[in-house]
Copies of this chain bind each other. A is one copy, B any other.
Amino acid sequence: MSLKHLGPGSQLPPLQPGKLRLYSMVFCPFAQRSRLVLAAKNIPYEVVNIKLKVKPEWYLGINPSGMVPCLQFDDGRAIPESLIVSEYLDNAYPENKLKPSDPYINAVHSVMIDSFGKVITPFYKFLFGDQSAGEDLLKSLEYYEKKFENNYLGGDKPAFVDYMVWPWIERLEFLKQKKNLDLNETRFPKLLAYIERMKQVPAVKETILSVEVYDKFFKSYSGDEPDYDCGINA
């Protein structure tokens, strides 16, 4: 199946018996959350990539919100929303559990995921040109800088919480190199070490994109049709 992003006029690829499908977009951090979980748990699936700005006519019939990710089963049933899809995958495929079994630790991790909204808001403001949001973004990251008691947010190996926050952490390097975000060693020693550590995690290696590819995509993003496909096999 082609990974090329589908838009208006495209045909919905037929569902395959026994095959799990993820509707995604290569540069979407929310969809990446679920792709990281699928990779970390070695769950076989196929991807159908969607042009989010110019959607195929059939996509709203599958996910009325029009967003990705959306997980679909071979009988047509579908689950939307990155956290719900990711949690479903962790529950339905109990091998290599990513969420902690201890209810209290699970709650602590849920708070870290929930609080990440405070990073995401200034992240997009800064990404789309509001220089003044840079300091807000760095302040919001200080909360996580203080959370590293172990090598990973989730403990001594990457857990569900790591995969839920990683997509935006990965893009910080792009913001630093191409948008002058002042993410420095003095202020963020643990976060920067974490980034290097996460880059060695197999699931991260499977989905990571380079600073240059992000740069190419975001330069095209203000237009009517962003260059979605520049991230495929990049």
Check A114 against B81 for contact (C-beta < 8 Å).
yes
Tell me if A's interface is mostly helix, strand, loop or mixed. helix
Task: Decide: B88 and A104 in contact? CB cutoff 8 A.
Answer: yes
Residue of B nearest to A79 (CB): B107
Cβ 8 A contact of A106, one of B88, B106, B114: B88
Are A106 and B81 within 8 A (Cβ)? no
B103 to A92, Cβ gap below 8 A?
Answer: yes
* Interface flag for A77 (CB, 8 Å): yes
Q: A81-B114, A92-B103 are in contact. List 17 more A-B contacts (CB 8 A).
A: A77-B104, A79-B104, A79-B108, A80-B111, A81-B110, A81-B111, A84-B107, A84-B111, A87-B106, A87-B107, A87-B110, A88-B103, A88-B104, A88-B106, A88-B107, A91-B103, A91-B106
Min distance, Cβ A183 to any Cβ of chain B, angstroms: 24
